[in-house]
Amino acid sequence: MAQATLTPHGEKVETFRLLSGHLIPAVGLGTWKSETPRESVCNALVQAGYRHVDTAAQYGVQKEVGAGIKEAIHAGIDRKTLFVTSKLWCTELSPERVRPALLNTLGELQLDYLDLYLIHWPFRLRDGATRPPKAGDVLDFDMEGVWKEMEKLVKENLVRDIGVCNFTMKKLNKLLSFAEIKPSVCQMEMHPGWRNDKMLEACKKNGIHVTAYSPLGSQDQGRDLIHDPMVERVAMKLNKSPGQVLVRWAIQRGTSTIPKSNHHERIRENIHVFEWEIPERDFQALCTISDQKRVLDGEELFVNKTDGPFRSTADVWDHED
Ligand code: NDP
Ligand code: 1BO
């Protein structure tokens, strides 16, 4: 359940409590493919009231994101009220590379700790791996060794929480079999066009909070949920925008979510989701959207149809879909 708190300006914001006891704000700003990371982050924090930013080393924008955070701090935002997430990229997925990768991320972001550090994808890629991967580009992944290094980062106060992205139930169960510190967060693609109910339930059962990525259906080759007739119908009925309905739907499922936008008016719009709710009937109607399909299925990154180790997207997702 989301909990409501007030900002110093009296605005209501919802948060979720993690296994660690820390709070994660229900809405964060996504930064993948952001064309205006510094301005967007600074505006989101200072003008729109965001306190949660999601980035990753792989996005190539950490320096600009860090500059945006720094500007916001200069404008009076307290670092302690922020929740900053970054992610360990696939080329760094071996035990000896975890700590240097985190230190590099902290340097780029100009921060001395992260609120959340996530394994970006549970597959190791060779340096210089191509898309799609050539034979030998996708390597074995020492999950236990990498997780132990992530746990050390928590113990050294370099990161407050650790977690994973793009895991299957099989991989989550493996992680839980040896984790001394359980993952606080599992970040997964989730929206009405890909509800991924099974993974959401598996996480809830283990007390693991889910952050829904691509809540609007993503971009470029993504899924246009903004113009989905059901989403438009609910938005019209509630006098909200389709983007707001999609963000609110994610929160009412018990997930935090991280919509990305380059446009300030949309960034503002996407966080004005706290003083109202989608009625149960409309919420359920949004849960019936057909053609359930991932946008980010990992094919380009990890599938090599002739040389493996993953010859299909079904292999990537452990045949669980
Ligand atoms: P989103 O679902 O957030 O969609 C972004 C697209 O929606 C952009 O084209 C944006 O355009 C548009 N948009 C934003 N707000 C509105 C609005 N109110 N009305 C209409 N259109 C809107 O896609 P992402 O894939 O970027 O996902 C969000 C974030 O999740 C990422 O940025 C990243 O931080 C994270 N992520 C994590 C992954 C992982 O593997 N862990 C994978 C994918 C994403 P414009 O910018 O022009 O406004
Ligand atoms: C390839 C990276 C997907 C966005 O997190």
CB-side neighbour CA atoms (13 Å) of 211:
36
The stretches in the chain having pLDDT less than 70 are: 6-9
Q: What is the pLDDT of residue 217?
A: 98
Instruction: Answer whether 244 contacts ligand 1 (Cβ < 6 A).
Output: no
Give the pLDDT confidence of 265-295 residue by residue, as tens digits. 999 999 999 999 999 999 999 999 999 999 9
Q: What is the pLDDT of residue 281?
A: 98
Q: What is the pLDDT of residue 257?
A: 98
Q: Is 272 assigned to a binding site? A: no
For the beta carbon of residue 266, count every other beta carbon within 10 angstroms. Answer: 16
Instruction: Answer whether 256 contacts ligand 1 (Cβ < 6 A).
Output: no
Strands (E), the chain: 3-6, 12-17, 23-25, 29-30, 52-54, 83-88, 114-119, 124-125, 138-139, 159-165, 185-189, 209-213, 256-257
Residues 257 and 26 sit within 8 Å (Cβ to Cβ)? yes
CA of 124 to the centre of ligand 2 (A): 14
Q: What is the pLDDT of residue 219?
A: 86
CA of 32 to the centre of ligand 2 (A): 7
Ligand 2, atom 5, residue with closest C-alpha = 32
Domains and CATH numbers, the chain: 2-315 (3.20.20.100)
Q: What is the pLDDT of residue 8?
A: 60
CA of 48 to the centre of ligand 2 (A): 25
Q: What is the pLDDT of residue 263?
A: 97
- Residue 117 annotated among the catalytic residues of the structure: no
Ligand 1, atom 36, residue with closest C-alpha = 213
β-pairing, 52-54 with 29-30?
A: parallel
Q: What is the pLDDT of residue 7?
A: 66
C-alpha distances in angstroms, 270 versus 31, 47, 115, 213, 289?
Answer: 14, 13, 22, 14, 21
Give the pLDDT confidence of 185-226 residue by residue, as tens digits. 999 999 999 999 999 999 999 999 999 999 999 988 899 999
Spatial distance between the Cα atoms of 180 and 128, rounded to a whole number of angstroms? 33
Instruction: Answer whether 31 contacts ligand 1 (Cβ < 6 A).
Output: yes
Spatial distance between the Cα atoms of 17 and 9, rounded to a whole number of angstroms? 22
Instruction: Answer whether 263 contacts ligand 1 (Cβ < 6 A).
Output: yes
